[in-house]
Structure 1
Amino acid sequence: MRHLNSFFLLLLFSSTVQAQISSDSIQKLDEVVLSDVKLKRYAKGYKITVLSDSLLKKNGISLTDILRFNSNIYFKENGYGMVSSPSFRGTNASQTAVIWNGININSQLTGQTDFNTVSTTNFNSIDIRSGGGSVQYGSGAIGGSIHLNNLLNFSKHFDHTVKLSYGSYDTKDVSYLSSFSNEKLSMNIGLKYIDSKNDYKYLNTDQRNKNGAFNNGSINANLGYILSDKDVLKLYHQSFVGEREFSGTLSSPSLAKYEDKNFRTMLEWSHIGNYASSKLKVAHLQEHFKYFGNKTTNNFTFGKVNTYVINYTTDIDVLDNLKLKPIVAYNYFEGSGSSFGKPNRNEFSSTVLLQYQPNKAWQYGFNLRQDVTSGFSSPLLFSFDVAYEVSENYKLKLNGSKNYRVPTFNDLYWQPGGNLNLDPETSYQIDLGQEIKYKSANLILNAFYIKTTDLIQWTPTSSGFWSPQNIAETQNYGAEATMEFCYKLKAHDFLIQGNYAYTVSENLETNNQLIYVPYHKANINLAYAHKRLSLFFQHLFTGEVYTTTENISGPFYSVDPYQVNNFGASYKVLKTNTQQIDLSLKVNNLFNTAYENVAFRPMPDRNFNFQIQYKF
């Protein structure tokens, strides 16, 4: 009852402030194009990396590849195009939140997002927020969060883009983007279909990836309408339907197949005032899978979850230098599956975000959140962040937080193996960052520490199946560096961008590194452009990872370090005021390196992709 009272008090307070505010607010319409304002306004002390629209188009096919070569996030992939799981600052995949237009879309079954089921078509940018974010984004945002953003631009335009590509392993990719807007209406749609035999050669062997074919289609459609000078209505939708054969290992061939269906729809109403604005979001998410142990039969297991979301937020300018954001949200999760029955879960949360800027140099943030989740006692969460602009070229950032993750439906109910006695994970983290800018050069340095209690980990039992257990304590600490340098010499443009991460992630009972967490990961991107020609080169280094808790190096116990390089070239064969045609070629694994990022699951040999893009 106490939490329900808090809900209604926040709602009443927000509505009262709104009623007292002037309605002359047309000047603030530029803010409503972004659905998740709290990502940047209430995170001044956090490291936020923005991957632009042009970068997404250059790296094209998968979200995994985009993040692998352009961030500090480590991915383990069960063969190319198979299940892809991130490790953010040494945390596991279920401790990385994926946020779609402000809504957490991590699976209620596995607790994570498979990054090979997310199409990047029609996203305007992808933002990477490093550090704990459970206060703002709920369960799972422990290592960091990845934000998929659709923007609605109300400036008058009507644009189309068609892309056709063909590559190695009979890989075909076609996509269509269209964007339209006038003074009242803005809409865009992205369609994409990809199909690949994915039968690449296993280097240094006489084998091929015989059961790795995949195909998928996606729709990403968004609509915005200005109802008045104070009100905007927006509709977001994303669909993904895919089918994958599941690759085997070097010693164990596979006949498995997996079908994915993900649907997301959100309606958002925004009301804008001079000193306050509010948003009401209503969303429905559905995830559905079928797993065929043998693709030649009709026998399968399945799982399905429907998620219903109601979220109300208010942004209040209490003073010129003090901003307040109350948030109240209710989620209902309804599952069904052949291995876990028909579970459901209710989740209510109330959150308050505060941002204070006493002068130009200092900015402070302090946030609180209380969840009420059926079946669990959720802790009071907090976070704080500070940003200090020492000079025009040097900035210091500090943030800390308490975060959590509740067990998933699979953790609790999967048969055999589910454990109803699991406790939620609890985590504390702190992060210190520096940003140094000089002319066209930018350097970002971060050091972090994360301590987690009751980490949920699946381990084998004496009965022969796997079951999740709470591990007493783990700690993660390390350092990250991000560098970027731009240089222009007449008609020649040069860009160097790189990332490096040193990560220790250990079980405090054994002091051993957790499996599949490299101590070292680095990437560098070089780009050159001259008139209609552009070139780029990518280099990725990933250090050794252990595959057993004993931390033994060598075959069967670890995966060797590897280096992979990509090269690409693009040329504008036509460029007018209304039309543009680009031809591009990308060579992946340029030096034909034999490597794995999961033991005994080889990644592709050298391969090619040719693309033609027409804008009109």
Structure 2
Amino acid sequence: MKELISIVLVFCATVGYAQRDSILKLDEVVVSDSRIKQYAEGYKVTVIQDSIIQRANGSLTSLLAFNSNIYFKENGFGMVSSPAFRGTNASHTAVVWNGININSQLNGQVDFNTINPFNYNSVSIRSGGGSVQYGSGAIGGSIHLNNDLLFKEHFDNQVSIGYESFQTKKINYNQTFGSRLISYSLGVNYNASDNNYKYLNTGKENKNGEFNNLNLNWNIGYVLSENQILKLYHQTFIGDRNFSGNLVVLGRSKYKDNQYRTQVEWERFGTKAISKVKLAYLQEEYKYFENKDADIYSFGKVSNFLARYSLDYKLSKFFRVNSFLEYNNYKGAGDSFGSPKRDDFSATALIKHIISSKIAYNLSVRQDFSSDFSSPLVFSFDGNYSLTDNYQIKINASKNFRTPTFNDLYWQPGGNLELVPEKSYQLDFGNILNIGAVSMQYNGYYISTKDMIKWLPNNDGFWSPINIEDVEIYGAEAKIEANYSLGKNQELGIKTNYAYTVSEDKSTNEQLIYVPFHRANGSLEYRIADLNLFYQHLFNGAVSIVGGELKEYQVANLGATYTADILKTDLKYTIGVTINNVFNTYYENVALRPMPNRNIQTQLILNF
């Protein structure tokens, strides 16, 4: 932490003395994670744009559920939300914040209801194994949250106010500023809800579901000289929520969690080489109250100090090499897992070969060294081939891993110090065909996971993790997008996603719980002048649960937005209304936890 503070002080001091006369001709936008663009030719990458992000009104879970193939297990509106990406579990999806993996060192995952997508320029979905570049847990895929810096004269403000059913209130403020020398963005978000929706067909109500949270996101970049940039990213999340009950048990617990993330990056550009030094400090902490009315709670926290050096070198117009060294120091403290510590070091190398304007591929390898266990050597290959101007083939193959977390190793009672990292092998083959206004993409994939960690009840009567499962996953994904111009100021957009997923425990040949065989979503959008109408539809097939099955369901949203200037000034406003679950469908994506009935969200956005 002291090193990080020192860097910040150096940054502040350097601002006054940096050269201003000779500025490197940078791209206007400096991206936060260049690897997803420069070293991902063979992967399926989906970028969700600003207009779609704003429509989700602050919910990353809803945004991805209706715009990707990811299935979410959500314990009710605003409660814990975890993904199942390509038949894997929540700890097999890496969340990458401006280039670094932020999955919890306690449970190995990220609660997607603690992430506000309003704070990011774009949200990207990279399907397939990515442990070489993004570390532990990137097996099913990775979600990338990007704060890109715009070094161009601009000063923009946005205020968004939302009011929804169940006494749900949301307010967001975003500001961006830029010049040739400096670029920054600020985002502040506050969400609160009584969350007391009725359970359809039961006469019951969602009890003890109140929540509120505050997000702060601040990012700044400064051009130090003609070939150097210094960047600072910071994020704070402060959450306070009760945990809802279910159909048979009333809830009475509550959970407070704080998350702090700070990273500083120095970047030097040369004619052939780009050097980067990144320092980051991440901390998460929680208090869990079994009885919200009592002062008794359990406590836990973990911190991670990260240091990384990377060198991206252009050997020739055909070859490029990216290598980086990374060190992580983890420290934990908690009532249930003591005070564990761990040091991890990794070395990674990536080679990019551009054979021609139509063929390119990447080779990469990574070795991790841990103070707690032996980590496997992992590798990947990916490439693409443009057969014609309209048709592309993509392929990637990789070995990936997930390391046991502090909870897996040290939780008392139940932790298992004999655990070894999970290992996974993957092959993915994709096709992209563009015909006029229509884009079609198809992917088939296969994943074999060894030594999967699973928590099971033991002979002593409590749950404990063991390396037991060998899991075989295979499936297919299809995506179709079409955009048509219907005349002056009129457009029609169509998007569809479909996924077929088989995820079997090889010892039983049964589908893993909470993995649907079939899942599909689609949207229809019509714009005429400043009026935008949209319809979203989601189909989720039946899923296995312990002792039974959750039925398939379909849920749909219908909405409209209208944008206009105020008296021909620079002030623009957008009014939006969305009816969620428009057909009032009863559905559960976690057993005994009904999701909300039909509800309305309204939104006012001011841009100036």
8 Å Cα contact 1:384-1:399 kept in structure 2: yes
Do the aligned partners of residues 25 and 398 (structure 1) sit closer, same or farther apart at CA in structure 2, a change above 3 Å counting?
A: farther
In 1, Cα distance between equivalents of 2:262 and 2:24: 28
Deviation at 1:463, TM superposition (A): 2.4
Q: What residue is the counterpart of 1:512 in the other structure?
A: 510
- Does residue 583 of structure 1 match 2:584? no
Q: What residue is the counterpart of 1:237 in the other structure?
A: 234
In 2, Cα distance between equivalents of 1:216 and 1:291: 16
Question: Following superposition of structure 1 onto structure 2, how do residues 209-288 of structure 1 map, counting pairs within 5 Å?
Answer: 209-288=206-285
In 1, Cα distance between equivalents of 2:332 and 2:469: 29
In 2, Cα distance between equivalents of 1:495 and 1:472: 43
- Does residue 106 of structure 1 match 2:103? yes
In 2, Cα distance between equivalents of 1:247 and 1:297: 17
Say which of 507, 510, 532 aligns to 2:530: 532
Say which of 283, 287, 291 aligns to 2:288: 291
Identity %: 52
In 1, Cα distance between equivalents of 2:40 and 2:24: 24
Secondary structure in 1 matching 2:37: helix
In 1, Cα distance between equivalents of 2:554 and 2:266: 47
In 1, Cα distance between equivalents of 2:64 and 2:125: 9
Deviation at 1:61, TM superposition (A): 2.3
Deviation at 1:119, TM superposition (A): 1.4
Deviation at 1:536, TM superposition (A): 0.7
The letter for the 2-side match of 1:500 is Y
8 Å Cα contact 1:25-1:274 kept in structure 2: no
In 1, Cα distance between equivalents of 2:421 and 2:377: 13
Q: What residue is the counterpart of 2:380 in the other structure?
A: 383
Do the aligned partners of residues 277 and 28 (structure 1) sit closer, same or farther apart at CA in structure 2, a change above 3 Å counting?
A: farther
- Does residue 164 of structure 1 match 2:161? yes
8 Å Cα contact 1:32-1:270 kept in structure 2: no
The letter for the 1-side match of 2:32 is S
The letter for the 1-side match of 2:123 is I
8 Å Cα contact 2:24-2:227 kept in structure 1: no
Q: What residue is the counterpart of 1:565 in the other structure?
A: 556
Deviation at 1:59, TM superposition (A): 1.1
Say which of 333, 342, 345 aligns to 1:345: 342
Deviation at 1:32, TM superposition (A): 6.7
Secondary structure in 2 matching 1:427: strand
In 1, Cα distance between equivalents of 2:599 and 2:413: 41
Deviation at 1:438, TM superposition (A): 1.3
Provide structure 2 residue ranges, at least 5 long, that are not aligned to the other structure. 1-20
- Does residue 611 of structure 1 match 2:603? yes
8 Å Cα contact 1:28-1:272 kept in structure 2: no
TM-score by length of structure 2 reads: 0.95
8 Å Cα contact 1:305-1:333 kept in structure 2: yes
In 2, Cα distance between equivalents of 1:27 and 1:515: 54
In 1, Cα distance between equivalents of 2:196 and 2:552: 24
Question: Following superposition of structure 1 onto structure 2, how do residues 20-169 of structure 1 map, counting pairs within 5 Å?
Answer: 29-30=26-27, 33-169=30-166
Over the aligned positions, Cα root-mean-square deviation in angstroms equals 1.3
In 2, Cα distance between equivalents of 1:191 and 1:123: 12
In 1, Cα distance between equivalents of 2:457 and 2:60: 31
Number of aligned positions between the proteins: 586
In 2, Cα distance between equivalents of 1:109 and 1:25: 47
Deviation at 1:459, TM superposition (A): 1.2
The letter for the 2-side match of 1:566 is N
8 Å Cα contact 2:22-2:225 kept in structure 1: no
The letter for the 2-side match of 1:596 is E
In 2, Cα distance between equivalents of 1:61 and 1:315: 35
Say which of 539, 542, 567 aligns to 1:541: 539
In 1, Cα distance between equivalents of 2:47 and 2:22: 28
Deviation at 1:464, TM superposition (A): 2.2
In 1, Cα distance between equivalents of 2:151 and 2:328: 31
In 1, Cα distance between equivalents of 2:339 and 2:445: 40
In 2, Cα distance between equivalents of 1:570 and 1:115: 26
Deviation at 1:532, TM superposition (A): 1.2
Deviation at 1:462, TM superposition (A): 2.9
- Does residue 319 of structure 1 match 2:311? no
Q: What residue is the counterpart of 1:17 in the other structure?
A: none
Deviation at 1:31, TM superposition (A): 7.7
In 1, Cα distance between equivalents of 2:516 and 2:572: 43
8 Å Cα contact 2:380-2:399 kept in structure 1: yes
Q: What residue is the counterpart of 1:410 in the other structure?
A: 407
Q: What residue is the counterpart of 1:191 in the other structure?
A: 188
TM-score by length of structure 1 reads: 0.94
Secondary structure in 2 matching 1:515: coil
The letter for the 2-side match of 1:536 is F
In 2, Cα distance between equivalents of 1:495 and 1:125: 19
8 Å Cα contact 2:28-2:151 kept in structure 1: no
In 2, Cα distance between equivalents of 1:350 and 1:32: 29
The letter for the 2-side match of 1:509 is S
Secondary structure in 2 matching 1:601: coil
Q: What residue is the counterpart of 1:373 in the other structure?
A: 370
Q: What residue is the counterpart of 1:592 in the other structure?
A: 584
Secondary structure in 2 matching 1:111: coil
8 Å Cα contact 1:25-1:273 kept in structure 2: no
Q: What residue is the counterpart of 1:492 in the other structure?
A: 490
Secondary structure in 2 matching 1:613: strand
Provide structure 1 residue ranges, at least 5 long, that are not aligned to the other structure. 1-23, 549-555
The letter for the 2-side match of 1:588 is N
8 Å Cα contact 2:479-2:496 kept in structure 1: yes
8 Å Cα contact 1:121-1:220 kept in structure 2: no
In 2, Cα distance between equivalents of 1:416 and 1:93: 22
Secondary structure in 2 matching 1:590: coil
Secondary structure in 1 matching 2:225: coil
CA deviation string 1:156-204 (max 9, x = no partner): 0111111111110000101111111122111110000011000000000
The letter for the 1-side match of 2:535 is F
8 Å Cα contact 2:454-2:469 kept in structure 1: no
Secondary structure in 2 matching 1:410: helix
Deviation at 1:25, TM superposition (A): 11
Q: What residue is the counterpart of 1:602 in the other structure?
A: 594
In 1, Cα distance between equivalents of 2:573 and 2:334: 48
8 Å Cα contact 1:199-1:209 kept in structure 2: yes
Secondary structure in 2 matching 1:319: coil
Q: What residue is the counterpart of 1:458 in the other structure?
A: 455
Do the aligned partners of residues 105 and 31 (structure 1) sit closer, same or farther apart at CA in structure 2, a change above 3 Å counting?
A: farther
In 2, Cα distance between equivalents of 1:165 and 1:562: 28
The letter for the 2-side match of 1:559 is L
In 2, Cα distance between equivalents of 1:543 and 1:27: 53
Q: What residue is the counterpart of 2:429 in the other structure?
A: 432
Q: What residue is the counterpart of 2:5 in the other structure?
A: none
In 2, Cα distance between equivalents of 1:123 and 1:573: 24
Secondary structure in 1 matching 2:26: helix
Secondary structure in 2 matching 1:121: helix
The letter for the 2-side match of 1:614 is L
Do the aligned partners of residues 32 and 369 (structure 1) sit closer, same or farther apart at CA in structure 2, a change above 3 Å counting?
A: farther
Q: What residue is the counterpart of 2:15 in the other structure?
A: none
Deviation at 1:229, TM superposition (A): 1.2
Secondary structure in 1 matching 2:563: strand
Deviation at 1:573, TM superposition (A): 4.0
8 Å Cα contact 1:521-1:543 kept in structure 2: yes
Deviation at 1:121, TM superposition (A): 2.3
Q: What residue is the counterpart of 2:473 in the other structure?
A: 476
Deviation at 1:83, TM superposition (A): 0.6
